[in-house]
């Protein structure tokens, strides 16, 4: 694989001003187009999953539907509720949107390209602490939601904002822990270096035998990948974790009182966040902008020039498909189940997994005594977990024996009530028992 | 690699410009935090200051600590502040009544005195100082440099931090956790029994009905003889007398 | 370590802020304005709205506990990052340190779990 095309951290920060301008506008346009496309894509996919065609009126195969919806929103009345806290109500969607856009600035979209003769990485910028920027923007984006909910001065948005804040901070813990193993393996927090680290398979010694592991981290760090993706769904408030805007309970959640372009901004931020977490997932676990293995074997140039942008977008779209797939498949969780899952399942598994990865890596480079000590430690940990695993409570099966209710109770039907068959069932059973009999009499 | 602030006085224009833009913003945030009447607005101003501080750290060639400032202080600690403020409700604002006479004047004088003390002290200590060794400290990268110091030289302090974190968790539990006694937990079976037990009526309560002037849950339902249906009164929602204007049908006219 | 890699981030930030502020400011101008008292009331599924949000806009104390736990874990994570990045340099010593650190924080976690601080009902 050609690593010469892979940008180093030193390659960033040398662009002339108009290259920066082109890149900034390019990223902005990419995100807006991705949002418009993702909304259409989601509606189309979920439509197909429910045996309906989805949007197909505006533009070819309905592609312009979300653009039309967005334009329509601009011409809707902008409502400022009487009880709203004016300034905060005004600023909340701005916070959400700005944080969503800014988080994308360190995504590596490709290797070195040449724009009007200038050689530059196909990435807005990169920092030694790039991934932390995404986390910081995610943390600040929560303000948009919680403030929007609070400032509306209404019950549903308040509850939605409240739930959302607690949900996002809980899943941020799981997300933050899940990427530790990636930093450990890549030895860097810069996105371009993490992508470069996944370019080649690594020689790893496991239990004495040397094996070549594939480069992409989602294979080597599968638990991290799964936890990251689950917490990404929680972090972006998507189904089945879309409790902040559970329609059946909270109408629209934090944005119930928002209308017109302010609502559109929240919508935009939500979809950009989806794209961002998918892009980060691609970068951290799916080899970033590099072409998947079978393509590079018969086409050496797959990672050169502008092609990486295609691989990157395809990978992001596949992850977005999983988002939609989850939405189309799983029912919404109850809030207590959701929080229990985050705090009692994802967090401990994550911590144990980090120690496991660290232990295996230390053991690979250590002498035998240390190695046996570490493996012994894991064995003790394993036994401990098995010993202290909370036993599942035996639930007594409910009896259907008629219960003696005290005098004056509200009358209830007996538990062993047998419903007499309906006339229709009787008729069908009758016809099935005697197929040769005369056909059903007309009604 | 060129360094920022490698030598005293060597400040790049970009750095100076960022500082002069952000320093007033940080100050506005700090002043606004004290000035704002609404507690949530205060917290938001403080967020602004914290954010500017994070950028200042990045400016001082500490990108890791800058990001951590944003993640931990603005992301986590200010969120806690916001939660606490929302515990008291959105209408909580400062009371302007002095409980101690002359308190405000004394506080003002003390504040100015303290600020003066801090400024002169810091000015004397840092003003003529030449910073050295930034290049060496960041030679392997800022994060790596921090890791090297934190996990070798300051390992004891690092381990003690975990004890602090335990204290924080235990403190939060003691303050905010209401322990549920096992026996108090009502099972679904018991709830169902109670629902059909004598004295309880499991069917839905009557709605406001056609004789009511409003369909609010806060208004009691009326029986055909215009008397209040007792069962429609909720123990939780206080009965609210609607004003004439509220009860009037709402048209789209002005 | 120079500041130039941060310039594009500021650029994107500025563009996004300009776009968002423009949209929010333009919203009242582009749409129609038809006054209606009911429309400006808080939305409550058709019933007469209560004069204030639930409980006067207050959050239950439970959320305070969640935020506090979040801070505890956030700080733990922040310590994990530099450790993970220079893991190879720190070697066995770093591993043992981190086992102790995570173990200690885990005690707090187990305590909160046992006392029911992680339960929602």
Name the residue with higher pLDDT: B232 or A356: A356
Residue A180 is assigned to a structural domain of this protein? yes
| Chain B partners within 8 Å of A87 (Cβ) | 41
| Chain C partners within 8 Å of B166 (Cβ) | 104-105, 107-108, 111
Q: What single-letter DSSP state applies at residue B184?
A: G
Residue B92 has pLDDT above 80, yes or no: no
Residue A20 is assigned to a structural domain of this protein? no
Cis peptide before A240 (omega within 30 of 0): yes
Residue B110 has pLDDT above 90, yes or no: yes
On whether any CB of chain C is under 8 Å from the CB of B160, the answer is no
Contact C15, B183 (CB under 8 A): no
Name the residue with higher pLDDT: B148 or B212: B148
CATH of residue C83: 1.20.58
| Chain C partners within 8 Å of B213 (Cβ) | none
On whether any CB of chain A is under 8 Å from the CB of C80, the answer is yes
Q: What percent of chain C has pLDDT over 70?
A: 83
In chain A, which among 110-139 make CB contacts under 8 A with chain C? 124-127, 132-133
pLDDT band for position B209 (50/70/90)?
low
Residue A442 pLDDT:
45
On whether any CB of chain B is under 8 Å from the CB of C33, the answer is no
Average the pLDDT over B134-151 and give the result. 81
Residue C22 is assigned to a structural domain of this protein? yes
Query: CB C87 to CB A257 under 8 A?
Result: no
In this structure, of A182-186, B12-16, B89-93, B233-237, the range with the lowest mean pLDDT score is B89-93
Alpha carbon of A64: minimum distance to chain B alpha carbons (Å): 34
pTM of the model as a whole: 0.81
Name the residue with higher pLDDT: C30 or A442: C30
In this structure, of A169-173, A297-301, B233-237, C25-29, the range with the lowest mean pLDDT score is B233-237
Residue C71 is assigned to a structural domain of this protein? yes
- B187: nearest CA in chain A? A395
| Chain B partners within 8 Å of C56 (Cβ) | 89-91
On whether any CB of chain C is under 8 Å from the CB of B172, the answer is yes
pLDDT in tens, A385-402: 887 777 677 776 766 666
Q: What percent of chain A has pLDDT over 70?
A: 90
Q: What percent of chain A has pLDDT over 90?
A: 15
Average the pLDDT over C92-104 and give the result. 86
3-state secondary structure at position C4: helix
The beta-carbon neighbor of C64 closest among B18, B83, B91 is B83
Averaged confidence pLDDT in chain A: 82
Residue B94 has pLDDT above 70, yes or no: no
Residue A441 has pLDDT above 60, yes or no: no
In chain A, which among 234-263 make CB contacts under 8 A with chain C? 251, 256-257, 260-262
Q: What percent of chain B has pLDDT over 70?
A: 75
Count up the domains in chain A and report the number: 1
List chain B domain ranges.
1-94, 131-197
Residue entry with tokens 């393509």: A295
Residue B116 has pLDDT above 90, yes or no: yes
Three-state helix/strand/coil letters over chain A: CCCCCCCCHHHCCCCCHHHHHHHHHHHHHHHHHHHHHHHHHHHHHHHHHCCCCCCCCCCHHHCCHHHHHHHHHHCCCCCCCCCCCHHHHHHHHHHHHHHHHHHHHHCEEEEEEEECCEEEEEECCCCCCHHHHHHHHHHHHHHHHHHHHHHCCCHHHHHHHHHHHHHHHHHHHHHHHHCHHHHHHHCCCCHHHHHHHCCCCEEEEECCEEEEECCCHHHHCHHHHHHHHHHHHHHCCCCCCCHHHCHHHHCCHHHCCCCHHHHHHHHHHHHHHHHHHHHHHHHHHCCCCCCCHHHHHHCHHHHCCCHHHHHHHHHHHHHHHHHHHHHHHCCCCCHHHHHHHHHHHHHHHHHHHHHHHHHHHHHHHCCHHHHHHHHHHHHHHHHHHHHHCCCCCCCCCCCCCCCCCCCCCCCCCCCCCCCCCCHHHHHHHHHHHCCCCCCCCCC
On whether any CB of chain A is under 8 Å from the CB of B25, the answer is no
Residue C119 is assigned to a structural domain of this protein? no
Residue B113 pLDDT:
94
Domain that holds residue A109: 71-387
DSSP bridge pairs for A209: A206
Count up the domains in chain C and report the number: 1
The beta-carbon neighbor of A129 closest among B67, B75, B86 is B67
How many CB atoms are located within 10 Å of the residue A399 CB?
8
Query: CB A80 to CB C85 under 8 A?
Result: no
pLDDT in tens, A282-316: 998 888 888 777 776 677 777 777 888 888 899 89
pLDDT in tens, A1-23: 444 467 777 777 777 888 888 88
Residue C121 is assigned to a structural domain of this protein? no
CATH number of B1-94: 1.20.120.1200
Domain that holds residue C32: 6-114
- The predicted complex's ipTM stands at 0.85
Residue C31 has pLDDT above 90, yes or no: no
Highest mean pLDDT among A78-82, A88-92, A205-209: A88-92
| Chain C partners within 8 Å of B170 (Cβ) | 108, 111
Name the residue with higher pLDDT: A239 or B241: A239
On whether any CB of chain B is under 8 Å from the CB of A186, the answer is no
Highest mean pLDDT among A35-39, A155-159, B184-188, B198-202: A35-39
Residue C39 is assigned to a structural domain of this protein? yes
Alpha carbon of B55: minimum distance to chain C alpha carbons (Å): 10
């Amino acid at each position: 694989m050609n690593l010469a095309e892979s940008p180093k951290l030193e390659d960033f920060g040398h662009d002339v001003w108009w290259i920066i301008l082109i890149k900034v506008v390019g990223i902005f346009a990419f995100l807006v187009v991705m949002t418009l496309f993702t909304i259409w894509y989601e509606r189309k996919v979920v439509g197909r999953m429910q045996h309906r065609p989805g949007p197909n009126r505006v533009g070819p195969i309905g592609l312009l539907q979300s653009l039309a919806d967005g334009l329509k929103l601009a011409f809707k009345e902008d409502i400022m509720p009487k009880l709203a806290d004016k300034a905060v109500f005004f600023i909340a969607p701005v916070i959400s949107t700005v944080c969503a856009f800014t988080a994308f600035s360190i995504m590596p979209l490709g290797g070195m390209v040449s724009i009007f003769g200038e050689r530059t990485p196909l990435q807005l910028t990169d920092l030694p602490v790039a991934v932390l920027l995404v986390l910081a923007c995610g943390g600040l984006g929560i303000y948009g939601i919680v403030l929007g909910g609070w400032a509306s001065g209404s019950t549903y948005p308040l509850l939605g904002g409240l739930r959302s804040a607690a949900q996002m901070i809980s899943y941020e813990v799981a997300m933050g822990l899940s990427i530790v193993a990636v930093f450990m393996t890549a030895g860097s927090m810069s996105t371009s270096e993490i992508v470069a680290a996944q370019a080649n398979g690594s020689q790893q010694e496991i239990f004495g035998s040397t094996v070549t592991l594939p480069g992409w981290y989602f294979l080597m760090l599968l638990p991290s990948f799964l936890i990251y993706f689950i917490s990404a769904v929680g972090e972006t408030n998507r189904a089945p974790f879309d409790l902040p805007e559970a329609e059946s309970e909270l109408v629209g959640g934090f944005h119930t009182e928002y209308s017109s372009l302010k609502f559109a901004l929240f919508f935009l931020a939500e979809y950009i966040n989806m794209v961002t977490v998918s892009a980060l997932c691609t970068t951290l676990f799916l080899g970033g902008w590099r072409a998947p293995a079978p393509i590079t074997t018969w086409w050496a140039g797959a990672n050169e020039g502008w092609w990486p942008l295609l691989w990157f977008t395809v990978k992001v779209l596949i992850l977005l498909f999983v988002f939609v797939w989850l939405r189309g498949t799983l029912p919404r969780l109850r809030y207590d189940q959701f929080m229990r899952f985050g705090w009692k399942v994802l967090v401990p598994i994550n911590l144990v997994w980090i120690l496991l990865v660290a232990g295996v890596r230390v053991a690979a480079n250590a002498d035998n005594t240390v190695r046996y000590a570490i493996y012994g430690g894991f064995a003790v940990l394993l036994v401990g977990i098995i010993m202290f695993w909370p036993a599942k409570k035996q639930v007594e099966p409910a009896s259907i024996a008629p219960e003696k209710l005290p005098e004056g109770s509200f009358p209830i039907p007996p538990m062993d009530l047998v419903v007499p068959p309906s006339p229709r069932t009787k008729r069908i059973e009758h016809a099935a028992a005697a197929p040769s009999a005369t056909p059903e009499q007309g009604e | 690699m060129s360094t920022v602030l490698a030598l005293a006085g060597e400040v790049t224009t970009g750095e100076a410009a960022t500082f002069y833009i952000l320093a007033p913003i940080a100050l506005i945030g700090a002043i606004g935090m004290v000035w704002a009447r609404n507690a949530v607005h205060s917290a938001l101003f403080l967020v602004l200051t914290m954010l500017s501080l994070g950028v200042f750290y990045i400016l001082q060639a500490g990108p890791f600590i800058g990001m951590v400032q944003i993640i931990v202080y603005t992301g986590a600690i200010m969120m806690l502040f916001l939660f606490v403020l929302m515990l008291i409700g959105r209408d909580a604002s400062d009371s302007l009544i002095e409980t101690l006479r002359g308190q405000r004047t004394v506080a003002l004088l003390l504040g100015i005195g303290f600020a003066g003390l801090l400024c002169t002290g810091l000015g004397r200590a840092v003003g003529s100082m030449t910073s050295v060794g930034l290049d060496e400290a960041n030679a392997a990268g800022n994060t790596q440099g921090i890791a090297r110091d934190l996990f070798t030289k300051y390992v004891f302090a690092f381990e003690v931090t975990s004890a602090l974190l335990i204290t924080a968790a235990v403190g939060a539990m003691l303050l905010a956790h209401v322990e549920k006694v096992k026996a108090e937990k009502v099972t679904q079976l018991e709830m169902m029994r109670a629902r059909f037990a004598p004295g309880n009526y499991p069917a839905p309560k009557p709605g406001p009905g056609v004789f009511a002037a409003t369909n609010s849950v806060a208004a009691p339902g009326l029986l055909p003889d215009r008397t209040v249906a007792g069962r429609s009164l909720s123990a939780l929602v206080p009965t609210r007398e609607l004003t004439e204007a509220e009860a009037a049908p709402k048209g789209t006219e002005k | 370590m120079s500041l130039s890699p941060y310039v594009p981030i500021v650029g994107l930030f500025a563009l996004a802020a300009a776009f968002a502020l423009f949209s929010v400011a333009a919203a009242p101008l582009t749409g129609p304005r038809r006054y209606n008292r009911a429309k400006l009331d808080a939305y409550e599924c058709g019933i007469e709205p209560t004069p204030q949000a639930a409980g006067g806009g207050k959050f239950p104390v439970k959320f305070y506990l969640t935020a506090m736990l979040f801070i505890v874990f956030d700080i733990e994570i922040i310590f994990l990052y530099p450790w993970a990045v220079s893991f190879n340099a720190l070697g066995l010593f770093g591993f043992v340190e981190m086992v102790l650190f995570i173990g200690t924080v885990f005690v707090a976690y187990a305590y909160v779990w046992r006392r029911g601080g992680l339960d929602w009902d």
